Amino acid sequence: MKIGFIGLGIMGKPMAKNLLKAGYSLVVNDINGEAVDELVASGAGSAPTAKEVAEVSDVIITMLPNSPHVKTVVLGESGVKEGAKAGSIVIDMSSISPIVSREVSAELEKNGVLMLDAPVSGGEPKAIDGTLAIMVGGPEEAFAKVEDILKVMGGSVTLVGEIGSGNITKLANQIMVASNIAGMAEALVLATKANVDPEKVFNAVRGGLAGSTVLDAKAPMVLDGNFRPGFRIDLHIKDLQNALDTAEAVNVPVPISLSTIEMMKALSADGKGSDDHGGLIQWYEKEAQVEVRK
């Protein structure tokens, strides 16, 4: 089975490399020529357009920043739709609006092409070691054909429902992650301002009910002052905005998300949008006039 992979960013590049390591035949495409060259050096083929990727692939994976990028790459000029054969499967692993997932799927279906939306969670470290959590929406028959491919990139792969359900699940995930990061930031700034060692606070609570994967991943980075992006603040703003839009469409209150996105937007306006989302603590530090470090 030949796989096309479009989008070789922070997440896509290691995901594509894991497919190569697993022995899959891969053809790649990205606007970043250096990323393409790196994959080619690892054994992949390349194609200059998404259409040409699709023409030679049974499965086409996209890993792109947001909804407009997916629509352009899949449905635009020289896009996936123009090259995909009837019976091929598109797996969009981007985190986008579930409404857009359904629109793109409906267009592909006109040409006999099935689609899954399969966003991921885990950030760059889990993309590198192939242990992402992958949340999948779409037809069961398509999922069954590509489940083994997804398991190369993910430690858990779950079909959660019809097309769009994967991105609904990802939005729920991003709300929970943002809330965890905000809670961690608020707590560690409080401890620091009250003259309690934040590292000792972290070590004291991590084994109790307050412990979480988010806390274990982000607190050490914060304590080291390391905001190198595994997942950028600007991308989390995008996800939370998609969550707010979806919540409005189904009439659900999301006050925590509203507060968190405003803090993230303030940081982005201060030039920190490319920091890791754990850098949210910098909003609290600025307000409290204290710095949380070891």
Catalytic sites, residue numbers = 170
CA nearest neighbour of 117 among 141, 143, 82? 143
Contact 24, 32 (CB under 8 A): no
Residue type, 59: V
Angstrom distance (rounded) from CA 228 to CA 220:
12
Which SS3 state, helix, strand or coil, does residue 136 take?
Answer: strand
Contact 292, 285 (CB under 8 A): yes
Q: What is the DSSP string of 85-100?
A: PTT-EEEE-S---HHH
Angstrom distance (rounded) from CA 121 to CA 95:
9
CA nearest neighbour of 115 among 94, 83, 90? 90
Contact 16, 44 (CB under 8 A): yes
Angstrom distance (rounded) from CA 28 to CA 53:
7
Contact 178, 152 (CB under 8 A): no
Residue type, 132: L
